[in-house]
Structures are given as structure tokens and as C-alpha cells.
Amino acid sequence: MTLNIRALLALAILSPIAVPAVAYAAEAPIYTGTFSSVAVSGYDPVAYFKAGQPVKGDKQFTYKWMGAEWRFSSAENRDAFAKSPTAYAPQFGGYCAYAVAMNSTASSDPKVWKIVDGKLYLNYDADIGKKWVAKQGEYIKAANANWPKVLGK
């Protein structure tokens, strides 16, 4: 049986794409996606607290922390983050809070968020966000117990 060179080339090209992003992401404490080093999909983590909504960050205002690039909508927000990153960074490295509660990891959508007791939580999508909010106290407790052990799975 001979292998077709085109089939082998296609397999080599497509195999990294076919592997879920979570497989790569679970190796790092900050979720940045498969082909990026940008945290929170480029959204400004300080804006959730100050503007009360997701605001896209700007490449002009960046800060490196925990191996990721964080983007901000202003120098003021960047400087606030630099002074106290743990006050603004999403919990569980920006992975989906619900997934961490379920002892797993998943990507998160920066538009599906909630601040609870002064902490930012992100979730995978709107449906998961609704499920998480319904029992967020229980899920936060479970996720805290699972974090960061889930990264080593």
C-alpha cells in the first residue's frame, strides 16, 4: 500500500487544525487560544470594572503578564492593571469558569462575563453563561477547588 503524497501533505497541514484549541490552551495558566499570545481575546480586562462592559483593547496599550499579552483601551487602564493584575485579570486564567467547575478547560467568550464579589469570570458562550449564573456560587466553589489542577490533566 503506497501513500499518496497529496494525502500525506493534507494530513500534515490539517492535523493541527483538527485538534481542539483546549488541548493546546490547557498547558498555560492564561487562556490565549491556539495561535495567539493575547489574553481575553484582546479585550481590556480593566474595562469590565470601569466601563461595566467588554471593550476591545488596542495594540498601542499592552502589558505582558503571566506569559500573555494583555491589551487595554487606554494607558490609564494598562497602568491600573500593571499595578494590580490579579485585581483585574479574569479568574481561572480566562478559561471558561463553568468548564473549570466541571473539572475541565474550555475557551471563553469575552462578551459572556460576570463580576461576582469583585472578580471577573468569563464563560464559553451565552448558553453556558446562563447555566453558570443559575448556580454561580456552587460553580465558583467547585472551580476554585479544581483550579489550577485542571491544567495538568
Q: pLDDT tens digit string along 97-145?
A: 999 999 999 999 999 999 999 999 999 999 999 999 999 999 999 999 9
- Structure confidence at residue 28 (pLDDT): 77
pTM for the full predicted model: 0.82
- Structure confidence at residue 34 (pLDDT): 85
- Structure confidence at residue 27 (pLDDT): 56
Please say if the pLDDT value at position 11 is more than 90: no
Please say if the pLDDT value at position 150 is more than 70: yes
> 69 with 39: CB under 8 angstroms?
yes
Q: Which residues does 148 contact at the CB level (< 8 Å), separation at least 6?
A: 29, 93
- Structure confidence at residue 1 (pLDDT): 42
Peptide bond into 148 cis (omega under 30): yes
